Structure 1
Amino acid sequence: MLLLAVVCLLCLWSPATLAGGVGSVPNCMPRKTVSLKSNGGHSFREDGVLNYTTMLVREDLNLLILGAREAIFALDLANITSKKAMMKWQVTDEQNDECVRKGKDATNQCKNYIRILHKKDDGTMYTCGTKAFNPTCGYLSWADGQLVLEDKQEDGKGKCPFDPFQGYTSAMVDGVLYSATSINFRGSELAMTRSSDEIIRTDVTANWLSEPNFIHMAHIPESENKPEGDDDKIYLFFTEAAVEYDSYSKVDVSRVARVCKGDLGGQRTLQKKWTSFLKARLECSVPNTKLPYLVQDAFHLCPGNWRTCVFYVVFTPQSDSSQSSAVCAYGIEDIKAVFSKGKFKVPVKVETSFVKWLVYTSDLPDPRPGACIDDYARSKGINRSLDLPDKTLQFIKDNHLMDQEVKPLGKRPLLVRTGPAFTRIVVATTTDLNGDSHHIMFIGTKSGSVLKAVNYDGEMVIMEEIQLFESSQPIKILRLSNSTQQLYAGSDAGVVQVSVSKCGRYDTCLDCVLARDPYCGWNLDTDRCSTVNTSHRDSSVIQSVKEGNASRCQQLDNSKPVNISFFLGNTVKLWCQPYSNLAQVEWHVNGRPIKASETFQILSDGLMVFNASMDDNGHYTCDSIETVLHQKYRTRHVAYDLKLWVGTGTTASLHDVREKHNTFIAMVVILTLMLAGLVIWNLYKGHLPLPFCPRGPMNRSEVDHLDGNRTGDHKLASSRNMNSNNNHLNDRRCSDFKETDRLATTTGSTVHVSLQYIDDESEI
């Protein structure tokens, strides 16, 4: 519990300036932690196949199309353990040999990594693989329960990366592939490309893209219900080396860029190049950090029309000085305003070699550089980008960077958390019992877990952290299915499917309501936590997601004591596991609060009693207190009656124990004195040798003397046998008593030593 408190204190301190507003972060710790064994999901992996990092959810076919290394799978969308089909797409020996000759690793790099899977309008799928640094694309179909790849394949350069481990992204819009990836073998030339009949792409210069790492691409249909006749946009999220900073070392920044879907390039200037490519910096400021955070993944959600679209973006630090990750949200209208109304930042040469970036304050050419063809352009006789004047094209040829940054909603991050870095994000929508809609974020981490979080009017609540893979397996892809309400996560090692709502994890009414999970509510009729729906909008279900009000829950008292007995000096652990990581645990003994001391240590899952003595007898109780919006809820989890063990099947009160303890000590003293007297008398009479000083072997005259004194049939053994047997017997008895002393000292337990009865003198 102490460790959890310290971690939460660090999280609360780090984003201290975020109090209030959309980005407040009161609870940086997941309320509930779900282990790998109890996540309740399904998993899939195929022997010999790795890198399950490309997914296409086909709800129309009830299939999850899964791309891995040299294989494509069709899995049942409801249960991915059911493999419907598998298709191998491997490199040939010739392709592998050629890849190796070019200096690549045959084991890892010279394979075919499936990197693109998109559904086309006719129901077929378009797929691309790295194919041993020779990217190749083809058409995939689902027919008669089988995956079929057409024999005719095409060059994938500019569509799919050469290097399987280089950043890339793509989108299929109206049957046309838009991609951002490398366009050469070395991976040094990167571009954003539209692979239509007339290929359009960015130019390979630092002003356009400077050492970019592509992250996410999204199509936003901005032409819908737009009175000015605007065009659809393709948005690109990426990182790149900043060209605008005066710095001795390279600084990376996060960007969002956009192009117009109808862009055809210029007539003379910017032929087959984007005339609408603009980029701006994404701001996601985390307190107490110096370098900008870098985007790792993005997900766009449009609950209504395109004007409601929100981009949820995951950021991580670019240096090891910070271990915090962040999530920022950006509204489409804010992004659009920067590109359509913001000022440009342009390079200006200073002296002879130095370039300084300044804000462009002069009049812009008309039409505005980078603007899509709209009704205003058409009124000037400009119906296509091919009709744009040279002044507009010359300006946009070298000046793509906006001066203004895109700021997140609420002007601050939604979530800042210290721990394993965030890797991926998807967002689902659901409606609570009051009819309010909520965006539920599922955030993948580098340690193989997923955070389930929601923002309630500025309060970020992390409901669960669910472990999906071993901690050494980062989550590399996340996908959602609206029809099955399932989350799919992929890593290098396999795929896991879990439900977005696992209400059965909440055991009690208090646990269910305080979880503030909009998927779940406590059903009074069934007395269990279950998934809510529109039919539950009555008094039979308790749910309070924004307020966390659990006053309608009946208080349970699990106070029937458990009897525990202990031995003197032992260490005793009393188990108590609260429902919530956010709850504060309180222990009492005989009604008195327990504080940490040399005797007691309070852990997150119990109480340790060290060197237990008679004074530790008593009645112990464990309560947890969870605070939600200043309202405290107390739960009695367990009670123990702890008593000292004094005999088989019996326990005793403190007075009885002391009486019996004193009697036992007196008996031990008397027996010790009697034993000491007996030993001294035997030593005096010569019946026992001195302790630990065994007598040496007898000489011949002593043996003869003993033979002469013996009568009857009892004969003495030869001197050799006697010396051997007697020495062995004395040594064995000595070692027996030494072992007895050792056990008594090290364990403190009563040691029982048994002596074997000898009924034949010949055995001596």
Structure 2
Amino acid sequence: MTRLLLLWALLGAPLHPASGSRVGPPRRSFRLDSSDRGLVHFIQPDIHNTTTLLLSNDGSTLYVGARNVILSLDVSKPDVITLKNKRDWSPSEEDIRACRNKQKDATECPNFVRVLQPKNSSHLYACGSYAYNPRDAILDSQTLTLTTVSKGEGRCPFNPFERSTAMTIDGELFTGTTMDFKGANPVISRHFSRDRRPDIRQDSAGYLLDEPTFISSSFDKKEGKLYFFFTEVLNEFHYTMDLKGTRLAQVCKDDVGGQRILQKKWTSFAKSLLHCQQGFDILQDMFTLQPSEGDSSEETVFYGVFTSQWSLGSESSAVCGFKMKDIRGLFSGQYKTFDTVKHQWSTSGTERTNQGKCGLWNATDVVLEVVKKSFLSHVHVRGADTPLMISSGPNGVRYSRLVAVTTQAANEKQYTVLFLLTETGFLHKVVLLGRSSWIVEAIQVFTEPQLVKSLLLSSSKDVENGNVLMCPQSITPPTEVQTDLNEVVTLPCARPSDLATLHWTSGHDRRPLPQKYFLQRPDGSLSFLASAVTLDVYICTSQEARYQEDQVVFNVTLRVPKVFAEGRAAGPQAPDTSAESLPENDNEITSAPYDPNENWSQESMPPRPTADSGTQKNAGEKVLELVRSYQTELVVVSLLLALLLCANVLVGLVWNQRRCAAPSKPQESLKNDPMLKQEPLVTDVKDMV
């Protein structure tokens, strides 16, 4: 399986709360090829099954355990991952033949590196399945040179696909795995014990661990105890079918076993039931989030992702948090006792004084006999308050891995961010706020859906503190849009978040838009018909939770037709609207510049500009004035034409009357009549013009 190192920056963005503890859809989603959320991949065609990761203390080198190989990668740069060293660690042909003779196929017989842990400041410890015959090795952390190879039984599993857990503390190795070929002998053990102490492992009694699947482990430095998280059959309940659940077990780091009873066995072993939520009882992964510097170790929180062992008809997961202070007090109460004759647990708990304690190496045989039979806590650990998040229903997902980090926002508050991997290879980044949770981002990790088996977070890189609520808005200058009358105008507006809603307003007083003139499309854009009442400033605002932010601003004006400019040139009375006479700056013919930081309450707004007040009109009002002026000129010309026609008609009537009333004159005298010497009457409107 292809592996990669993911480096993320936390988004300082407003969040949309989910209902209760159930999470809604992601706030933003990014495909693999998205330019807005880049991922750094390291791929080599001959590298497969990279399921084990270890980050150096300085965060600059990533060690990767893969199939037949161990890699060291330089991850000091945020935009590239380069190969530093590569060490082949393959079984011999004889080892592979022996594996095949045990009825294992070719896919199971390579060496799958299952454990990578720091041994000391200069060396690493590694353990691999090695063709169903576990081997371990010590490697130089710089050159990856193998310096020691020995048997690895009980340190990593024979089965390369079986889950296990391991961690090193002061050079000692603590593991939870199986130590036989069939995987039927589970064990929690300590190896490479210091100060001449013997190595310690689990007692061979089968009722101590019942078909466990080891998930994770953690160290409580203050108490000197290790905690192991696993799932197993809950044999204290009597059902007709096996009921599985999640366990928490503890052992003391410096336990050396008893003198006669429990020799080289844990005298501090105790376990309890870990409960998240009804219906979510199978642990998939557990992460230990250490408290901030200066805080008490009791503030340590264990975050676990749980699924159901029953079919719920849809994918589902739940995330719960468990507090260290609750776990520390868990093993100091009552315990159940196992009856070795009836092979069952007592139904009630009995107060015990030695269970779960460290330093019982010199305890009496009577005390150790009780410890040997009474190691199951009567009470169990519940998740703090309610589940932090539940993903269920038709859109639910199954999470497989998680890590957590605490980051300080711009308001100086601490927030916990979870990184959760789905079983299809998507990464969900979730922010926890009290009892609510939000999926800030969903990021596609691989082209094809596949299960990711390892997730590692570098807390020293990937984090940008920020909170948009604390940041001032930047001034968004309006975008000029020119249009013609009766033309359809569409103004685009993109949502900054999948959970945000968009709404449009007009004017600097942000008036609501009447539905009879405007249409807001599903993509957020606004459409309307350009007219005298729709030429204005339009603002698109996004709203998410209680936060609003202006996205775009448009100033829609009317485009000046050429006929207006020609008419104005012919008529000296028409106002000049030629391109040469218009102001160079569009703001000179619009209202005041747009400023989102200005308080635009209705009371503080100045009166809308009018011609009488001498203030400047916007472009739409200017054009409408030109239209009215041109119409006035046409009316005047029409009236003059009508008066001229009337005058000519009147002159004609007068002339006819005089002609009828005058006495008969000789033909010659008519030639000298002044009325006959006038110009011909206008007989056509064209002539009048």
Measured against the shorter chain, the TM-score band is 0.5 to 0.7
Superposed CA offset, 1:381-417 (max 9, x none):
xxxx3311222211221222112111222x2112222
**Equivalent residue for 2:386?**
412
For 1:413 and 1:45, the matched residues in 2 are separated by 37
Superposed CA offset, 1:84-140 (max 9, x none):
11111111111111111111111x211111111111224211111111111100110
Superposed CA offset, 1:454-475 (max 9, x none):
3234443332222222351233
Is the CA contact 1:67–1:73 (under 8 Å) kept in the aligned structure 2?
yes
Residue 588 (structure 1) shift? 9.4
**Equivalent residue for 1:389?**
364
Answering whether residue 289 of structure 2 is matched by residue 300 of structure 1, we say: yes
**Equivalent residue for 2:135?**
136
**Equivalent residue for 1:98?**
98
C-alpha change, 1:634 and 1:432, in structure 2 (3 Å) is closer
Is the CA contact 1:573–1:606 (under 8 Å) kept in the aligned structure 2?
no
Is the CA contact 1:298–1:314 (under 8 Å) kept in the aligned structure 2?
no
Is the CA contact 1:369–1:396 (under 8 Å) kept in the aligned structure 2?
yes
**Equivalent residue for 1:148?**
145
Which residue, out of 562, 575, 581, partners 2:498? 581
C-alpha change, 1:33 and 1:264, in structure 2 (3 Å) is same
- Give the TM-score normalised by the residue count of structure 1: 0.62
Residue 162 (structure 1) shift? 0.7
- Give the TM-score normalised by the residue count of structure 2: 0.68
Which residue, out of 432, 442, 464, partners 2:409? 432
For 1:587 and 1:594, the matched residues in 2 are separated by 14
**Equivalent residue for 1:320?**
311
Matches within 5 A, 1:74-93: 74-79=72-77, 81-93=81-93
Is the CA contact 1:215–1:298 (under 8 Å) kept in the aligned structure 2?
no
Name the aligned partner's letter for residue 390 of structure 2: V
For 2:483 and 2:243, the matched residues in 1 are separated by 63
Answering whether residue 339 of structure 2 is matched by residue 343 of structure 1, we say: no
For 1:148 and 1:41, the matched residues in 2 are separated by 31
For 2:311 and 2:438, the matched residues in 1 are separated by 27
Identity of aligned residues (%): 30
For 1:417 and 1:333, the matched residues in 2 are separated by 27
Residue 207 (structure 1) shift? 2.4
**Equivalent residue for 2:230?**
238
Is the CA contact 1:258–1:278 (under 8 Å) kept in the aligned structure 2?
yes
Is the CA contact 2:171–2:192 (under 8 Å) kept in the aligned structure 1?
no
Residue 269 (structure 1) shift? 1.5
Residue 149 (structure 1) shift? 1.2
Query: Equivalent residue of 1:359, what SS?
Result: coil
C-alpha change, 1:269 and 1:562, in structure 2 (3 Å) is farther
Is the CA contact 1:190–1:204 (under 8 Å) kept in the aligned structure 2?
no
Name the aligned partner's letter for residue 47 of structure 2: V
C-alpha change, 1:621 and 1:240, in structure 2 (3 Å) is farther
Residue 75 (structure 1) shift? 0.8
Answering whether residue 228 of structure 2 is matched by residue 311 of structure 1, we say: no
Superposed CA offset, 1:457-513 (max 9, x none):
444333222222235123321222244x0xxxxxxxxxxxxx344xxxxxxxxxxxx
Name the aligned partner's letter for residue 288 of structure 2: F
For 1:594 and 1:97, the matched residues in 2 are separated by 81
Is the CA contact 1:218–1:300 (under 8 Å) kept in the aligned structure 2?
no
**Equivalent residue for 1:34?**
30
For 1:623 and 1:585, the matched residues in 2 are separated by 7
Q: Which moved more, 1:200-209 or 1:67-76?
A: 200-209
Name the aligned partner's letter for residue 306 of structure 1: S
C-alpha change, 1:183 and 1:94, in structure 2 (3 Å) is same
For 2:480 and 2:68, the matched residues in 1 are separated by 59
**Equivalent residue for 2:586?**
none
**Equivalent residue for 1:73?**
71
Query: Equivalent residue of 2:117, what SS?
Result: strand
For 2:286 and 2:491, the matched residues in 1 are separated by 44
Superposed CA offset, 1:6-44 (max 9, x none):
xx99x956xx4x5xxxxxx5x533322222123323110
For 2:128 and 2:171, the matched residues in 1 are separated by 19
Name the aligned partner's letter for residue 337 of structure 2: V
Is the CA contact 1:75–1:84 (under 8 Å) kept in the aligned structure 2?
yes
Q: Which moved more, 1:297-306 or 1:175-184?
A: 297-306
For 2:405 and 2:236, the matched residues in 1 are separated by 37
C-alpha change, 1:623 and 1:87, in structure 2 (3 Å) is same
For 2:434 and 2:480, the matched residues in 1 are separated by 41
Residue 446 (structure 1) shift? 1.8
Query: Equivalent residue of 1:160, what SS?
Result: coil
For 2:183 and 2:555, the matched residues in 1 are separated by 66
Superposed CA offset, 1:258-278 (max 9, x none):
100111112222122111111
Matches within 5 A, 1:231-270: 232-270=224-262
Query: Equivalent residue of 1:98, what SS?
Result: helix
Name the aligned partner's letter for residue 334 of structure 1: D
Residue 210 (structure 1) shift? 0.9
**Equivalent residue for 2:200?**
200
Query: Equivalent residue of 2:95, what SS?
Result: helix
Q: Which has the larger radius of gyration?
A: 2
**Equivalent residue for 1:479?**
456
- Could you list the structure 1 runs, at least 4 aligned residues long, displaced by more than 4 angstroms after superposition: 557-564, 572-576, 586-590, 592-596, 600-603, 605-609, 618-624, 636-641
Is the CA contact 2:228–2:249 (under 8 Å) kept in the aligned structure 1?
yes
Superposed CA offset, 1:348-385 (max 9, x none):
59xx9684541223x53xx5123112xxxxxxxxxxx3
Residue 601 (structure 1) shift? 10
C-alpha change, 1:307 and 1:12, in structure 2 (3 Å) is closer
Name the aligned partner's letter for residue 210 of structure 1: D
C-alpha change, 1:450 and 1:153, in structure 2 (3 Å) is same
Is the CA contact 2:317–2:399 (under 8 Å) kept in the aligned structure 1?
yes
Query: Equivalent residue of 1:97, what SS?
Result: helix
For 2:457 and 2:344, the matched residues in 1 are separated by 46
Is the CA contact 2:250–2:356 (under 8 Å) kept in the aligned structure 1?
no
Query: Equivalent residue of 1:470, what SS?
Result: coil
Answering whether residue 430 of structure 2 is matched by residue 467 of structure 1, we say: no
Name the aligned partner's letter for residue 113 of structure 2: I
Matches within 5 A, 1:435-584: 435-483=412-460, 485=461, 499-501=462-464, 519-520=465-466, 543=467, 548=469, 552-554=472-474, 556=476, 560-561=480-481, 576-584=493-501
Is the CA contact 1:301–1:427 (under 8 Å) kept in the aligned structure 2?
no
For 1:369 and 1:240, the matched residues in 2 are separated by 21
**Equivalent residue for 2:3?**
none
Is the CA contact 1:213–1:238 (under 8 Å) kept in the aligned structure 2?
yes
For 1:292 and 1:441, the matched residues in 2 are separated by 20
**Equivalent residue for 2:159?**
163
Which residue, out of 357, 361, 365, partners 1:371? 357
Superposed CA offset, 1:615-669 (max 9, x none):
xxx99989454233xx25154458799xxxxxxxxxxxxxxxxxxxxxxxxxxxx
Query: Equivalent residue of 2:275, what SS?
Result: coil
Query: Equivalent residue of 1:72, what SS?
Result: strand
Answering whether residue 374 of structure 2 is matched by residue 399 of structure 1, we say: yes
For 1:561 and 1:475, the matched residues in 2 are separated by 49
For 2:102 and 2:372, the matched residues in 1 are separated by 35
Is the CA contact 1:32–1:581 (under 8 Å) kept in the aligned structure 2?
yes
**Equivalent residue for 1:273?**
265
Is the CA contact 1:59–1:481 (under 8 Å) kept in the aligned structure 2?
no
C-alpha change, 1:574 and 1:154, in structure 2 (3 Å) is farther
For 2:517 and 2:379, the matched residues in 1 are separated by 55
For 2:346 and 2:555, the matched residues in 1 are separated by 71
RMSD: 3.8
Q: Unpaired runs of 5+ in structure 2?
A: 1-14, 507-511, 557-689
**Equivalent residue for 1:723?**
none
C-alpha change, 1:456 and 1:114, in structure 2 (3 Å) is same
